[in-house]
Amino acid sequence: LPARAELARLLPEGTVVEPSAHHLHDATEAQGLAGHADAVALPETTAEVATVVAWCYEHDVAIVPRGGGTGYAGGAVPDGGVVLSLERMRAVRALDAPLWRAHVEAGLPTAQLQRVARENGLWFPPDPGAAEQSQLGGNIATNAGGPHAFKYGVTGRWVTGIEAVVPPGEAITAGGPVRKDAAGYDLRGLLVGSEGTLGVITAAWLRLIPAPEAALPVAALYADTGAGCAAVEAVMAAGVPAAALEFLDAGAIRVAGGAFPVPLPDNAQFMVVAEADGSLDEARRVRAELTEVLAPAALTLHAPETRADVAALWRWRDGVSLAVASAHGGKVSEDIAIPVEHLREAIEATLEIGARHDLAACSWGHAGDGNLHSTFMLDRSDPAALARADRAAGELFALALRTGGSISGEHGVGTVKRGALREALGDRGLALHRGIKHAFDPKGLMNPGKLVP
Amino acid sequence: LPARAELARLLPEGTVVEPSAHHLHDATEAQGLAGHADAVALPETTAEVATVVAWCYEHDVAIVPRGGGTGYAGGAVPDGGVVLSLERMRAVRALDAPLWRAHVEAGLPTAQLQRVARENGLWFPPDPGAAEQSQLGGNIATNAGGPHAFKYGVTGRWVTGIEAVVPPGEAITAGGPVRKDAAGYDLRGLLVGSEGTLGVITAAWLRLIPAPEAALPVAALYADTGAGCAAVEAVMAAGVPAAALEFLDAGAIRVAGGAFPVPLPDNAQFMVVAEADGSLDEARRVRAELTEVLAPAALTLHAPETRADVAALWRWRDGVSLAVASAHGGKVSEDIAIPVEHLREAIEATLEIGARHDLAACSWGHAGDGNLHSTFMLDRSDPAALARADRAAGELFALALRTGGSISGEHGVGTVKRGALREALGDRGLALHRGIKHAFDPKGLMNPGKLVP
């Protein structure tokens, strides 16, 4: 193919390869999505990224930037063109521990940054699922969240600067190693969550914070959704500064509860996981407050003390998504965000909508942020079930918009929510999206078919 | 004038008034800036704002949105057209205390929100100077900072949604009462800091947090800049989670030190103010850590205990800017942000540049964020001094860019830094700014002459 041969001539040997299955899908594989591409570029430097973008832009070839491929929105699934994977750009360019700062390349796996920070007494709070596979560049391009976003915010809040290659093939920086920047439009913030449709993020400056001495979670089990949601609301109403405030509904407990670190009561239909952090004294004080609020209506509490037991709880929590996917062989997992007071309504609606479309359903996620992983479990080889799941998702999006929420709290738009985004934006919002896209990418070659309706 | 008469016909009586001096300047008055306008509109509703924007857009009349007029960049100084002041839109539309959330109109004074939050056990952390005069809409439009940005970030971090009227005269919302939103480009973030050049912010949804039980500052005095900057670096290197980390240099102490709550040592040439917050135990623990790091090289420490004494320290800190302005009758105050390791260099360069241009100079500001209020004091009726201050500012901006910093950490661009922004952006960045501006405001009528070079 011309793109592959031509790019191979411009780049070091081994940089341009034939597409393999690995580079043609993301986590939407579980609902049957896979793409095709003409070539895969694996640049090792920002200059090589610029070479790829410049050649493609000149020759009207689509560019599909790729991180760890763990997205749930089809954002990394190519429909022709060149897949530009950042996997070889994984350097920590600088870790300035005394200044609470890191400068990393886009392909660095999230978990690796987390470890490097910890080794230096620091912490990078964003903790999206699949941290071993996902990469910082992808986290930034999707503005990834995670349980600790409740207290610490999503990925974008920790990014002070971005280096990106934008059409027609030029490296720019927006922000930098500086902690404040009020000069001009927030191009940095615009690249955050842009899903590769404006440019290719090649590196970032990240803000870190001193690692809290202790993190003490408590899991509370309830007999029904009403009691559980009331507990979530009570934590906030009491003003307890929880670091994370998660939930699982009955269906999620059913498929994932067997692997929970301790046996769960048979009648547990709802779980709240809240975490307290800070100095050891402070974490203990806050966990006592959490316990006081969560305990009265709970069936049981599980409050791990040791570092190993705490890690086991979060490892289990991180595995919930996979457990749900395995239950029926596949899943369509949405991630609507709603104002917190609509949490119970959204959890119950997920089940009701699923039942109406003959789909097993469940939800879990970030209760305090009103961010649900509403999930329809299905056999991914069943096209009728996939079509029903698509309609069910549409009803969830309508619920989110009706309550003042968002069609995506953390997965982004990709291909799978483009239609829904159009609804959400309205005419003027749509026109603004197209205007911004045009300012960066007049030929529409950056990750075409993604995000912009 | 036609604009005034025509708009008066479309709006309730008393909504459109003749321009008075009050509406024609901002804090750049201290360096001699004042503008002119054809009319001032004082809408009371979003619909009235839309009426003003629609009429102006149709008739090619400039619209200059105005908050509290406390900006230092000339962003609210009109050069003809209609001043659209949000001062009558000051309602708290909703305060959902149990959900840590407020929905406020743009004209609400910052301090009023801070009080309402406190009365409900909550806290809105951004604390720009002049909080009694400045308004939330202006804070958002300039992404205002303040001392507590060190731990809690600038205004934009607390804004989950914006209601704005954009050309040609339509109200849109970006985000809302929801805490997470990964759907589409971050229009909310783009409006933050856009200085009225993309649209008129009419209301916002703000995230609040439970108010910390205690805030315990400590002020440390040093004999020279080197010792003071070393203390700032030591706080960060020790990983102390300070809520604020401020400084004043010798010149700032000279003009503002007399009003400090306790007498200062005669040889004090540098002050560091750090704050610890959290539960009372936690604040005490963190302040002990701060003291341990700050004390060894300090001449003296001042560590207020009571709420009244703590408030007195911050009230004094808030008055530093005014004290400096009064010293010579006027000032040109910049707000470069540099990577923290360049703090000492920037403080010393401020003095050196001032001396070379025959201007008394000093600096103070947000040490931990590397954000300096580098200030040249002058008699504002002296045009030669103003011209020298302009050249001196240019050298400061060059320093900021050379070290990887920003020409503005919190004041924004307005008119006074448009030239410098062009340098900072480079050709591609400039083109992106113009493209974004065009997507929102194709006729270039929103606050023309501001921000976009």
**pLDDT, tens digit (0-9, with 9 covering 90-100), for A17-71:** 999 999 999 988 877 788 999 999 999 999 999 999 999 999 999 999 999 999 9
> Do B347 and B363 touch, CB atoms closer than 8 A?
yes
Q: Does A145 touch chain B (CB under 8 A)?
A: yes
A178 HSE (CA, 13 A, CB side): 30
- With CB atoms and an 8 Å threshold, state whether A210 touches B241: yes
Share the mean pLDDT of chain A: 96
Residue A180 has its nearest CB partner, among B122, B154, B240, at: B154
Between residues 357 and 376 of chain A, which touch chain B (CB distance below 8 Å)? 366, 368-371
> Do B84 and B49 touch, CB atoms closer than 8 A?
yes
CA B74 to chain A, closest CA, distance in angstroms equals 14
- With CB atoms and an 8 Å threshold, state whether A178 touches B432: no
Q: What is the mean predicted confidence (pLDDT) over B302-318?
A: 96
Query: Residue for token digits 């619920």?
Result: A399
Q: Is the pLDDT of residue B99 over 90?
A: yes
Q: What is the mean predicted confidence (pLDDT) over A262-291?
A: 97
Query: Residue for token digits 């001196």?
Result: B392
Query: CB neighbours (10 Å) of residue A442?
Result: 12
Residue A210, phi then psi, degrees to nearest 5: -55, 135
pTM: 0.97
Instruction: Report the SS3 class of residue A128.
Output: coil
Residue A438 has its nearest CB partner, among B182, B435, B437, at: B435
pLDDT of B30 reads 74
- With CB atoms and an 8 Å threshold, state whether B339 touches A182: no
Query: Residue for token digits 């989670």?
Result: B241
d(CA A27, CA A8): 29
A84-143 residue pLDDT tens: 999 999 999 999 999 999 999 999 999 999 999 999 999 999 999 999 999 999 999 999
- With CB atoms and an 8 Å threshold, state whether B142 touches A182: yes
Q: Does B319 touch chain A (CB under 8 A)?
A: no
d(CA B402, CA A161): 16
Burial (Cβ within 10 Å: 0-12, 13-18, ≥19) of residue B398: middle
Between residues 167 and 196 of chain A, which touch chain B (CB distance below 8 Å)? 170, 172, 174-187, 189-190, 192-194
A129-182 residue pLDDT tens: 999 999 999 999 999 999 999 999 999 999 999 999 999 999 999 999 999 999
The amino acid sitting at B157 is: R
CA nearest A241 in B: which residue? B210
DSSP letter for each residue of B332-371: EE-B-B--GGGHHHHHHHHHHHHHHTT-EEEEEEEGGGTE
Residue B276, phi then psi, degrees to nearest 5: -110, 140
Q: Is the pLDDT of residue B283 over 90?
A: yes
d(CA A229, CA B150): 34
Count of residues in chain A: 453
CA A134 to chain B, closest CA, distance in angstroms equals 17
Q: Is the pLDDT of residue B1 over 70?
A: no
Residue A210 has its nearest CB partner, among B239, B371, B404, at: B239
Q: What is the mean predicted confidence (pLDDT) over B65-75?
A: 95
Q: Is the pLDDT of residue B236 over 70?
A: yes
CA A354 to chain B, closest CA, distance in angstroms equals 23
- With CB atoms and an 8 Å threshold, state whether A180 touches B417: no
Instruction: Report the SS3 class of residue B160.
Output: strand
User: Could you give the maximum distance between any two Cα atoms of chain B, in Å?
Assistant: 69
Q: What is the mean predicted confidence (pLDDT) over A416-444?
A: 96
pLDDT of A1 reads 58
CA nearest A191 in B: which residue? B185
What is the Cα A342 distance to its own chain's centre?
Answer: 22
Q: What is the mean predicted confidence (pLDDT) over B94-113?
A: 98
CA A1 to chain B, closest CA, distance in angstroms equals 32
Residue B178 has its nearest CB partner, among A178, A339, A368, at: A339
d(CA B38, CA B56): 12
The encoded tokens of residue B345 equal 């260099």
d(CA B277, CA B211): 10
**C-alpha distance from residue A164 to each of A50, A110, B99, B186, B382 (Å):** 9, 18, 37, 17, 45
Between residues 197 and 256 of chain B, which touch chain A (CB distance below 8 Å)? 209-211, 233, 236-237, 239-241
Q: Does A381 touch chain B (CB under 8 A)?
A: no
The encoded tokens of residue B350 equal 């401020």
Q: What is the mean predicted confidence (pLDDT) over B243-260?
A: 97
pLDDT of A121 reads 97
Share the mean pLDDT of chain B: 96
A200-250 residue pLDDT tens: 999 999 999 999 999 999 999 999 999 999 999 999 999 999 999 999 999
Residue B19, phi then psi, degrees to nearest 5: -65, 130
d(CA A92, CA A203): 9
> Do A302 and A363 touch, CB atoms closer than 8 A?
no
- With CB atoms and an 8 Å threshold, state whether B99 touches A209: no
Which neighbouring-strand residues pair with A200? Answer: A165
**C-alpha distance from residue A291 to each of A219, A255, A308, B302 (Å):** 9, 26, 21, 38
Residue A182 has its nearest CB partner, among B98, B143, B166, at: B143
d(CA A413, CA A76): 11
B152-185 residue pLDDT tens: 999 999 999 999 999 999 999 999 999 999 999 9
Q: Is the pLDDT of residue B329 over 90?
A: no
A195-212 residue pLDDT tens: 999 999 999 999 999 999
- With CB atoms and an 8 Å threshold, state whether B193 touches A185: yes
DSSP letter for each residue of B361-417: EEEEEEGGGTEEEEEEEE-TT-HHHHHHHHHHHHHHHHHHHHTT-BSBSSS--TTTT
Give start and end residues of each alpha helix (H) in B31-161. Answer: 46-58, 110-119, 136-142, 149-152
Q: Does A431 touch chain B (CB under 8 A)?
A: yes
